[in-house]
Structure 1
């Protein structure tokens, strides 16, 4: 399993506010299914970051394209494969 950092820069603030509940529900579902490790917004309002777990870039992009923020044009996205090192306490 690979990890991917997905940047979600702001594309449309009004759409982002409107679809935020759907986006958060989507991420919760993806976390429950083991596809999302962590997510959060940037404090400057410029967007957010999601760390996905997927077998390939293509699978990650399939997940990302299901996000209501992407579907509705509220955010853009950039996917970068990430070699994660975890500190498991």
Structure 2
């Protein structure tokens, strides 16, 4: 299955953003349970973060991302890319 990456930057105050982090973590746990091998995290020195996951197609990846609480609640701007792994 192809890998996809959502690269994001926050666009709201951290106090509001942080209210949606537990729901985002639950969303990622659900992706893992469904077999998408998701990983999520944030940049140590600059704002924003990344979600890495498997999906059958770009359309499925976009549908998945549309359900992310950080996206649904307007917390982030993001780019979605298919990631071509060269070495595993």
Q: Give the TM-score normalised by the residue count of structure 1.
A: 0.86
For 1:74, the equivalent position in structure 2 comes to 75
Structure 2: stretches of 5+ with no match in the other structure = none
For 2:44, the equivalent position in structure 1 comes to 43
Identify which range, 75-84 or 9-18, moves more after superposition. Answer: 9-18
Superposed CA offset, 1:13-46 (max 9, x none): 3331111111111111111111243221111251
Q: What is the aligned-residue RMSD (CA, Å)?
A: 1.5
**Where in structure 1 do 4 or more consecutive aligned residues deviate above 3 Å?**
none
For 1:9, the equivalent position in structure 2 comes to 9
Q: Give the TM-score normalised by the residue count of structure 2.
A: 0.87
C-alpha displacement of 1:62: 0.4
Please give the secondary structure, in 2, of the residue aligned with 1:79.
strand
